Structure 1
């Protein structure tokens, strides 16, 4: 079984259909069907795309290749490409129904791209198989890095109708390629944005799946572009996913084709170190640190994903008190592989990221707003107020300074009350909301409608917690007003 693969142009922009190659369909589910379309045998294609069946002579059979990667032995996996605009039906390619004989025994199936000079004129049969081969590259690299756990099932939902419009997923209004937590949706809109041959894009989204299933991500998602000053949780997740795709492919040039006849798009070198925006809030900084650490041979094997996977899958990373960030990664790397930390520290400093602990204590890079430091404010539990401000000065929702974080240590179990009150200059009718976390898991929250205030009471056992404060006006992308609202936050034990 083979399929057409369309590479990008040498200048990294757009697809080059004239340079299309034929690739083997690896690891795919292959079925043999009788004249009633009943499955009489099934197997998995090998690394050369070959398969074989034993079947009685003269029996009418046809071969079906499913857009499905499957493996039963440990670690097992089951990845499918389905059509979200057709009830999530599985893509497949069927051969002809022929009587089994010596002359019909060899049955080669080829999935064509459907391209003919200036556009797609035939079904884009190759697309689902190209998507799966990118995924298989990631699977193989993660297994080689030491993963022995089963991969949870995942659907990758692609359609020629999937376009850059927000709305009904069943109509293809997916907005962009993204991981939803239960599936990956992939663009396929010809002459606008198609991602089936953008291996970096596929592996970026699959990297988010890896974070959720084998690691941890506290990212809140949202729009982001190069140069944004982001919430550190978002910067870590997006920077990791960019670097991950480049690591899996051993290619730092992240490419995304789009435009008329897919001749345009963008390219970004994730290994680049010189960025105008540098810090723990920059996805470009995070991807640069991680990718350049991956390629380094200082106290490690160059281009070996093992050390990075070891960190992100460790109990110290997954169960860390702090929200996920480059600080947590660096701290866990120091704990697990101290011989490598000198090199990693150098990469951090190049990106204006302080060498510190998982909480980022002592960080001096505020991103241009002093209110964003310290990264975690210590919240006492004796009703003493601390003051902090939620601001959309760098943008709404997932940008730096919208969310403020506090850390509190509970030394005795009991019911604790948290209260928030706006103080200082009147910013209008503020709407503070608070969120309580333990090791990244949301325990409770308060999103009341009272103006300028909020409160929350909850029983807490002994341990360390993170409290997040957000003014909903600063979070709202549709709010065009500049917002900087400052609040006194208190915590006390009630009983």
Structure 2
């Protein structure tokens, strides 16, 4: 997805301080962030735990609560039955900034005196040095180191992709933060709450002030997503993840790198006011975090590219996007996916209910809507739930098959009880996908053609994988002929890529001979458990439509491959044989 508006560039060294001041302008609740002693504010005192108010002879307790303005993305059906959506600024509430880094800084030196993290209610506490000029800084960062023997770890940070350091180093982009007002720690306990405001001005229906809440809103969705995964594995170590956003960001909303720049790898979130902002579109953020999860703890063989709910897709893409949407709802405990856009963020970009399958979309393994519905309803089943889903996703990492609904469901079915298996089978049957004892990771039992495919196009869809057998000694090779089609679109749609698989009983050098229809140049890629194997495709000097590709391969049960001719379509005949054995064929 894609993003807009350009915030001022500034160096990484100065951006942090400048941004802190910027956020302070609207991020401190009553505007002055005044100090209140525990004894002088009964309401605040009641919500504080005794531990937070302890003051020793050498220190004074400094505590408070960090919050941010949360603007809900809401949806409803219009008169014509179409989905409408908007950011509902009138329903803005303050939510706790959970598990974020909070620092106490010396005003004179700028040195960080103490550092901690907020609890699940946004509370923090320090034992500050007495009579010292200090201020509190809340950083848009969740940071936790694993314990000595167990416990999860993470480092999720929201960074400014308009800062000078963006794309120059892994953590080069400036980190968003919010600074509180300066105060003297004194000798008694004091409370210092900070709130990051949305910056929305109702009178002008625009962001008239700093959007200081946005980084914290983004981070709080990531809190929900990561803690959903921790339900299944409490000791998980999450690799560091940068989330890139800025007011006016035009990078797009996606997980990956911008224009191949390795230092920009992370989640990219739109921020262009009146065009498309995603900081409050929690469903969108959780979807992209779901791709981060796939890339880290599972495997994602998706070929990416443009897609929509009514497309018939390459099955790898359909599973990847279906997973992203389903996981988003799992993490948020909400089946609604709402993506807003337009003037005043008052229009719908994409809205759907993840557990529903409308009549106009494909009910099959190659439809992202069907896939997401199955995955989410598996999660909602009392006989399945999230942990088996997590385990099945983790098993994809070393799957011999391409990642798809077939490989996922096969793994899941082997780990759930009979009641769960019955639920899985019924859901797969509902979307015309092999189930029960016909289910396997390669879709070998997929004999039925879904209604969305006309009979004349069956050979472009089934079998899921064409099987090759190598020719050895007196045993002839079993070749395969596969044909591609543009009937369902180009690039990443169903039928443009065809899948093959083969086994090798003996290691050694092998050659794949490819005979293509006239005018087709084959693109052939071979994989072993998700890893692409390098091979050099060369044209046969004796034939303009014949090609050979050589590999040095270990013995292995399953190799898988894809073949296509870009957006051109036609047929290929593929033969596998030990290298230099062509004369015996």
Tell me the CA shift for residue 220 of structure 1. Answer: 1.2
Offset, 1:286: 0.5
- TM-score by structure 1 length? 0.90
**1:377 counterpart = 2:466:** yes
Instruction: Quote how far apart the aligned CAs of 1:252 are.
Output: 0.6
Instruction: Report how many aligned residue pairs link the two structures.
Output: 466
1:400 to 488, 494, 508: 494
Matches within 5 A, 1:145-294: 145-163=232-250, 174-180=251-257, 182-265=265-348, 266-276=350-360, 277-294=362-379
Q: Mind listing any 5+ residue stretches in structure 2 that lack a counterpart?
A: 1-65, 77-83, 166-172, 472-476, 581-585
- What is the alpha-carbon distance in structure 1 between the residues aligned to residue 470 and residue 275 of structure 2? 54
Question: Once the 2 structures are TM-superposed, how far is the Cα of residue 416 of structure 1 from its aligned partner?
Answer: 0.3
1:109 equivalent to 2:199? Answer no
Structure 1 Cα separation of the partners of residues 100 and 140 of structure 2:
7
- Among 85, 89, 93, the residue aligned to 2:174: 89
Q: Check conservation: 2:323, 2:372, Cα contact below 8 A.
A: yes
Rounded to whole Å, the distance in 1 between the matches of 2:316 and 2:538 is 25
Offset of residue 296 of structure 1: 1.7
Alpha-carbon distance between aligned partners in 2 of 1:246 and 1:445, rounded to the nearest angstrom: 41
Task: Give SS of 1:207's match.
Answer: helix
Instruction: Point out the structure with max Rg over C-alpha.
Output: 2
Misfit runs of 4+, over 6 Å:
none
The alpha carbon displacement at 1:157 in A equals 0.4
Cα distance in 2 for partners of 1:61, 1:358 equals 60
SS in 1 for 2:279: coil
Correspondent of 1:454 among 547, 554, 575: 547
2:503 to 377, 384, 409: 409
2:72 aligns with: 7
- Secondary structure at the aligned position of 2:124 is classed as coil
Task: Report the TM-score, using the length of structure 2 for normalisation.
Answer: 0.77
**Whole-Å separation in 1 of the counterparts to 2:505 and 2:358:** 45
Partner of 1:167: none
Q: Which has the higher contact order (CA 8 A, sep 6+)?
A: 2
- Pair 1:30-2:102 in alignment: yes
Deviation of 1:189 after TM superposition, in Å, equals: 0.5
Q: 1:372 to 1:30 in 2, by over 3 A?
A: same
CA-CA distance at 1:41 after TM superposition: 0.6
Distance in 2 separating the partners of 1:179 and 1:244: 18
1:343 corresponds to: 423
Shift of residue 449, structure 1, vs aligned partner: 8.0
Report deviation, 1:328: 0.7
Unpaired runs of 5+ residues, structure 1, are: 164-173, 475-482
CA distance in 1, matches of 2:248, 2:537: 37
Query: How big is the alpha-carbon RMSD for the aligned residues of Structure 1 and Structure 2?
Result: 1.8
Q: CA deviation at 1:454?
A: 3.2
Deviation at 1:178, TM superposition (A): 3.6
SS of the residue aligned with 1:313? helix
Tell me the residue number matched to 2:46: none
Q: CA deviation at 1:491?
A: 1.1
Say if 2:516 and 2:573, in contact at 8 Å, map to a contact too. Answer: yes
CA distance in 1 between counterparts of 2:125 and 2:333 reads 32
Aligned residues of 2:67 and 2:194 also touching (Cα < 8 A): yes
Describe the shift of the 1:120–1:377 C-alpha distance in structure 2 as closer, same or farther (beyond 3 A).
same
